[in-house]
Each structure stands twice: as C-alpha cells, then as structure tokens.
Structure 1
C-alpha cells in the first residue's frame, strides 16, 4: 500500500533526481521542480566511484551508465614543466569492490537519470519564490504564481540553494540559527557585495577591499573569516566536440586517460579526462586569494545578497545565464537577487571582466597538457595546449563555477530538509565529486522516507535527525579529504608542493588504503529493492536499522 504523503523536491541535480527515481520505485508520491528549462549541457566530467555502483545495479542502470562512460584506472599528476609527480591509482577498485570507477559527462549521466522519471512529475522552468509550512503540510509557491502542496520539502538545489536561504530566514527569525551558518551566509553576501561594489568602483576609479560589503548584520571580521575558511575557487569546464583520433590518439583508448597539471608559478591547475565519442572533458581551476579578489571587475562575480531578515518581494528577477544546480528566485525588496540566483554552472556569456576573462585568455590557452597514453617515466612527453581543447569546445558549452567549501550545521527544520551541495558544498573540481555525495544522500533519505508509517510532524522530524546523524560525519570526512586533495592538486606554497611530492610518491598507497577501507566500504543501497551482494575484498558496511515513534517500525538506510 502506497504511503499517503507527498514529497516536493526542489532541484534536478544528481541528488534531487536520484531521490525522485528512488521514490518512483518505492511508489511514493512526489514532484520535482527545476528552474532551468531542461537538462543543461553545461558541466564537465563526473567520476562515479564504486560507492554508487550497487545502487545503479539495483535500479537496472549500471549497464546503461557503462555504455556512456569509460573506466578510469589512473590519474597522472605532472608539473607545468611536464615533470612527473606521480599517479593516483584507481585500478584496484575492481578487486576491492567488484566495480571500476567510471567517467562520463555530467549532462549525459544526468539525462539518463532524468529519463527514469515520468515527464508529468518533473517541472522545468519552475522557480521557487517561497514556501510555508504548518503542522500538517508544506506549500511551495513559484514565481509563475503556481502553488504545490506536500508533506515533505527537500532542498536539493545546489551550492547556493534557494530553499536553504528561505529555511535559514525562518530559523533565524526564531533565534536558533547557529552562528557558523550565519557566518557562511555572511561569507556569500560578502563576496557578492564585494563584486557589485567593485563594479561600481570601476566607474568612479576607486578600489574597494573584500570586506567592505555592509549588506549583512554580521560584523566585518566574522564575515571576512568565513570567506577565508571557505576556500573559494573559480573553475572553467567544457566538453570538446568529437576529436580527430589521429591528431589526439589519447581518445582511442578503452579506458579514460587523465592528467592533472599543477601550475608552477600561478594560481592555476588544469585537468582533463577522455570520455566516449572521442571527446575530452577539460577543466581549469583558479584559487581566489585576497589579492585576486581585490582586482577591479567590469562585471560582478555574483549579484549581491540581502541579509537574512530582509523582506521578500513577489516580483521575479531575470538572469542572463542559467544554472542547473541552483534555483532562481525573486529579487528582494532591497533590489538584490537571492543567493540562489548566484550562478553555479553558468554559460560563458556571463564571463566578462578581468578576473573571469583570465580563464579564457591567451595565457590560459597556452597552458601545456601532456598527451601521452601512459604515464611518462623517461623524461620526454608529447604535449599540446589547453587551447587545443578550448578551441574544440562549442562556446555555449563552456561553463564556469564559483564555489567554496562549507559544511552547514542546519540541515533541516520542520518539514524541510536539505541534501547534497545545499547542506555540504564542496569545491567544484574537474570530476564534479559532489555528485557522488548527493547520490548517497538521496539513498539515505529515500530509505528513511520509505520507512515512514505516516508523515506526522514527529515522524518527519525524527527521520531528518537520523538522516543528518548518518550523513554529517561522512560529509565532514569528505570535507577534510577535499581540503587535502585541494592542497595536493592546487596548492602553490612550498609546504604544499613538498606534501604533494611526498604524499603522491611515497605515502599515497598507505593513504589510499586507509581511505579505501573507510570510503569504499560505504556502498549504500535502497533497502526496499532487491539487494546486490557485496563484492570484492573491501566488504560493504551493513546498513543500520532505526525506529520511528509510531508502531516502533524499523527504518533501515
């Protein structure tokens, strides 16, 4: 018998769509809302590790994913002068788990998942304006003056989540928003306001510092500290059109070929993966430090965001580019768009001004890339340039992302819960690793929702608490690991360079073994579907059982 409640999902990224697919299989009523007009072609490569393969096998999608992917066994690390640093070896994944890691394009993987959802249950071009909840239900109102009712609201709308912003407004009014979450919101507002102020300063000839924002009640020191803790990056990504395999023989291989290049004297690092169809997914990443952020901009990095206590206006705003990971919303009465309107993946049309134009400059296009089919050990390397990839990429499929790392403390309140980048956002990188975390969030939350005997307020709050208790430690571990990998991949200080060489050349096997035991063992499955047996030398962790108040019914996730 199908449960008599409905789940409203905002955001059609990997987390939101995976949750929708699970609810569809569980025969639980749901609707999903996405601000974009459809699945965006923007975004680069996604590396799916073994931790999500049992779920894909359960859903009958593993073979389909394999057809649009390439197995990846090794990621080569080199310096800008083509000197070899080492390799990240993924070839043991098959032995450890029974599954290879796979690389595909973000748009093709997401399209495959979206195709599992009945078209009448997913609403594109739906921008959430507001939501309100009471004891019995939650009501979502959109900018086209439509409303939707349900018992559970899931914010899966990305790094600059509209649902998180609205939820935090409600929590802040009650005086229970943790200081760390308020500081993270202040950090978003700081950079947004800085960018807008700098754009104005260009007209007056003035130069403004990062902390001169003045649009949030947080004090300047705390806002600045929150920004620094965020580790802000700009990434530019793209997928080439099919390449001539004679000119680029690396695309011929059955396995994905990948290099990450560490810039010698710059703030840049760049990467690429080969994917099916003789194509290459490439990415260039630039760290943003105080010096770079204070450079004059011709156009804001983002639109400024209002304080949490600012009133909302029902008049929708417009955007010059679209995003699939954040949900557009209305402007506020202050005239500033919401945080959700700040671009995550955005088209190249948005990229003007000195800071962003750096990412498509001639200097950037001249960055060398090794084109060997195997790791170079003899001191000679066949090289091309990043410009070879950029020039082979349609302009409307080049995208940039401005991201930072934040682990939020508030994941739920009342009938609303956050998942994926909305509650633990990671630095966007070449492999879009946040996709795997969002999928695992969806499995945990989907199992708990499936086990609900009813959507009473007590039951809903209880499963949200269980969900956060289960996923928060994992997100915290991933955040620390992302920081380590970020320093390994992008760090430019002499200590980070030393750590990179030491870790990759001498300690990586030990470090990887430690990570494999902790991470590869976490292979969650949908408990209401036929289970896939554990394979490989690293056994999957058992999925724990929990109880809800009514009838002491067990919830397994």
Structure 2
C-alpha cells in the first residue's frame, strides 16, 4: 500500500505481541519498520491466553482471524471451585458470540506468538539486539546495541515489557530536564507470583475434556492458603495451567524482579508444594506438571503499574512498558494490541515528520488510550480478588459477586468492556455483527478529509 507519510522508518524495541502487532499494522500501512529483540531466539513458553471481540475485529481486518481460530478453542465460561472441587461461582459466556459477534477464544501463548512472528518479514526481525543507549537529537532517534550495531529512525517505540529499557532511558532523559512526574519514579507493585506451563500433546483418554471442541476453563481456590490455580484445554490435545501465589505485601522492590520475564526458571520447591493439589480436569496438578516439558514451564511475577509518561520527543511506549496489568482480567495482551492499533492510526496520520507533528500524534495516542488502560487496571484488581484473592476481604467480595449480584447484571457488567473496539483506520472497517452497541471510532484527520471530499463531490 502506497503511503504519503514522511515517516520513513519506525524502530520497534521488543518482539512481544504488541511490538509484532505494530509491525504487522505498519506493513499494511506501507510504513517501513524494524523490530529489535534482546533475546537471541524466540522462546515458545507461556500458558493460556484469551482474545475476544475487543481485538478480533482487527484480526479480521488483517486477514488473520481464520489463522487465530485454527489454533484456538471457543470458551463458554469460567468455573471457579474450592479445593474440594465444589462450585463457588463463575462466568457464563454461552451468549457471548451472539452479543458481541465473536467468540471469546482461548489458546496457548506460544502458538499465538508464533502466528504473529510468521506475519513479520524475516529481514525486519532482528534477534540478539540488547539496547545499550538511545539518542534523540530532535531530527531522528538512534539506538545503540550491545553488539556494536546501531540504527536510526523517525520514531522509536518501546514495546519491551514491564521492565522496559526504552522506558528507563526515556525517563532518565525526562528526569534530567525536570519533566518526569514523581509517580513515575515509583516501583511497580508486585502482588502475586505464578508458575505457568503447557503440556505436551496428550492421549484422548488422558482427560475427558480433551474430547470437546471448546475450551474447559476452570479455576480452583485453595482455602486457607495463598494458592490458586487454573487449567484450560486448547487445540492439539494440550492443557495450559497456571499456579498463583498471593504475596503478603504488594510493596516490593521492583529491582529484585528486573529479570522476571517469561523464561524457563522452573522453581522446584513451588512445584513440590502444589503437586498434590486437586485438578478440576481430574487427578492432581502434579500430574499436569509431569506431562509438561521442563522448558515449557516458567515462573513470573505479576506486577501492576500505570505510568503517567508515555512519550517524549521521538520515543513512545506501548503495552506493558506503559501500563502493566494483572492477568486476571484477561486484558493485558488485548490492551497492548489496542495500543498498537491506535498508535499505528496516529502514525499513519502524520504527513510531515516534524517534532511538532510527532508530538501531536503521540499525545493523541495517549489521550485515546490512557483512560481505557486506567479502567482496565482497576478492573483487573477486582478480577484478581474474584479469581485468586485470599484475604478475608477478598473472600467477602467474591461471595457478594457470586451470590448476591443477579446473573443478568453480572453479564451486562462483563459485556461493558466490549463496547470499546478500535479498528485500523487505513483498512476496510468491519461491521458490528453483535447486539452490543459500540463506541464510535475516533476518526483521524485523513478520514475526516476524505469524508469532506466525498460530500463536496
């Protein structure tokens, strides 16, 4: 696609889903880019994830929806049990597709990540590139890598996670100018630790749930302990699992966890502690762990933080680099991808790569996304309480939600999020096939200009 923007090159740091999605979007926009990832190889690790109507319309715009559905199962609901496997409550999603136009789909993170990677031209993805320093001279931005290489572009996007090196460099530059808010100097809050994994392909008779063509999504809360765990069946006769431990304090020094990213950091003591816990699919969690290749098990900390500063000069942040959410609301990855969509729209709208125009585009991006991210962070805290909170207050809130709030009201509250569904402005729009009324898409200047020209003719 030809594009008249003076943006000649976008540098993206981080090959997680948000960075890859931005690269895919820029490919469709006809804007050149390169992605720089510090890891030398793409590691196939992680557990279950979910996408829904809030982002699947974009997949349809990009021609990726069928690919995503092929590696996913629809989810009909979440069931929550106590440690005796007695039902405590849950969420019914049986009418979700009718209301929103799409199923909620569950999948293994490694497979979806590989789908994203497959959509990026091989010469645009550079591995083993640890960023040592960043220079922004006003006319261009340059990254310098540990291997001695460097690259320059009009825009630098930090998509490098919760402990973003790009953010650290950006904040240092802002602090030297007296521009960094006090809130952005505070550490991330770490309230939970979890271990995740995905089993090898299993025999059909290993678990009865594997015979179904939809995902069985179950969560167990161990009363009297800080532990809870979940399981989800995904295509390929595999089970994704997650063990969560609630920490006593959420005021944790983030520097202790600056290497706590997805990685094969198997914690044997935690495995032994949870081995005999009952699994909602049958047997014990130890059975699932034993069916999981060691390299597919990783231990991560669950942080949260909403940063105030998302951009400065020619540098901008997306995803966990500017808003880290607890995974309990299933919104972290979706919001990161929505960041990529809105940022791509704003970049597409730049017709002259002046510092003023770039600042205006970045400010527009933040103004659209910050309120949405704040809402989702607040909601993820509530969902964390429902799904694995263990304090007396958490238990009380869970009891009220499941036993005192009528199911129709629960459903409407759940569907409230689906009204916000941003799409790519430079690709054909996907119509709303559900019954939920959507928020209007915020148009870009080019869209407004095109409408004016059509009306004039």
TM range (shorter): over 0.9
1: distance between equivalents of 2:108 and 2:427? 27
Aligned residue number for residue 354 of structure 1: none
1:347 equivalent in alignment to 2:257: no
1:360 equivalent in alignment to 2:271: yes
Q: Structure 1 residues 409, 302: CA separation in 2 closer, same or farther (over 3 Å shift)? A: closer
Aligned residue number for residue 71 of structure 2: 68
1: distance between equivalents of 2:388 and 2:100? 29
1:346, distance to aligned residue in structure 2 (A): 1.9
Aligned residue number for residue 409 of structure 2: 510
1:426 equivalent in alignment to 2:337: no
1:254 equivalent in alignment to 2:254: no
1:370 equivalent in alignment to 2:277: no
Listed one character per residue, the Cα deviations across residues 11-31 of structure 1 (whole Å, up to 9, x for unaligned) are 111111101000001110110
2: distance between equivalents of 1:285 and 1:93? 27
Count of paired positions: 446
1:63, distance to aligned residue in structure 2 (A): 0.8
TM-score, length of structure 2 as denominator length:
0.93
Aligned residue number for residue 431 of structure 2: 533
1: distance between equivalents of 2:251 and 2:34? 42
1:136 equivalent in alignment to 2:136: no
1:458 equivalent in alignment to 2:356: yes
Segments ≥4 residues shifted beyond 3 Å: 290-293, 301-305, 552-555
Aligned residue number for residue 455 of structure 2: none
Q: Structure 1 residues 554, 412: CA separation in 2 closer, same or farther (over 3 Å shift)? A: farther
Listed one character per residue, the Cα deviations across residues 144-192 of structure 1 (whole Å, up to 9, x for unaligned) are 01000001000000111111111111111111211111123xxx5xxxx
Q: Structure 1 residues 23, 282: CA separation in 2 closer, same or farther (over 3 Å shift)? A: same
Contact persistence 2:44–2:296 (CA under 8 A): yes
1:491 equivalent in alignment to 2:389: yes
1:36 equivalent in alignment to 2:36: no
Contact persistence 1:156–1:418 (CA under 8 A): yes
1: distance between equivalents of 2:277 and 2:358? 52
1: distance between equivalents of 2:216 and 2:256? 40
Listed one character per residue, the Cα deviations across residues 434-478 of structure 1 (whole Å, up to 9, x for unaligned) are 111111111110111111111110011111111111101111110
1: distance between equivalents of 2:378 and 2:256? 29
Superposed, which structure 2 residues align to 1:443-454 within 5 Å?
Answer: 443-454=341-352
1:37, distance to aligned residue in structure 2 (A): 2.4
Contact persistence 1:70–1:254 (CA under 8 A): yes
2: distance between equivalents of 1:290 and 1:440? 31
1:271 equivalent in alignment to 2:230: yes
1:471 equivalent in alignment to 2:366: no
Aligned residue number for residue 441 of structure 2: 543
Contact persistence 2:194–2:299 (CA under 8 A): yes
Aligned residue number for residue 387 of structure 1: 286
Contact persistence 2:96–2:103 (CA under 8 A): yes
Partner of 1:141, secondary structure, is: strand
1:432, distance to aligned residue in structure 2 (A): 5.8
Aligned residue number for residue 225 of structure 1: none
1:79 equivalent in alignment to 2:79: no
Structure 1, gaps ≥5 residues long: 189-229, 294-300, 306-338, 352-356, 372-382
Contact persistence 1:426–1:434 (CA under 8 A): yes
Superposed, which structure 2 residues align to 1:83-102 within 5 Å?
Answer: 83-102=86-105
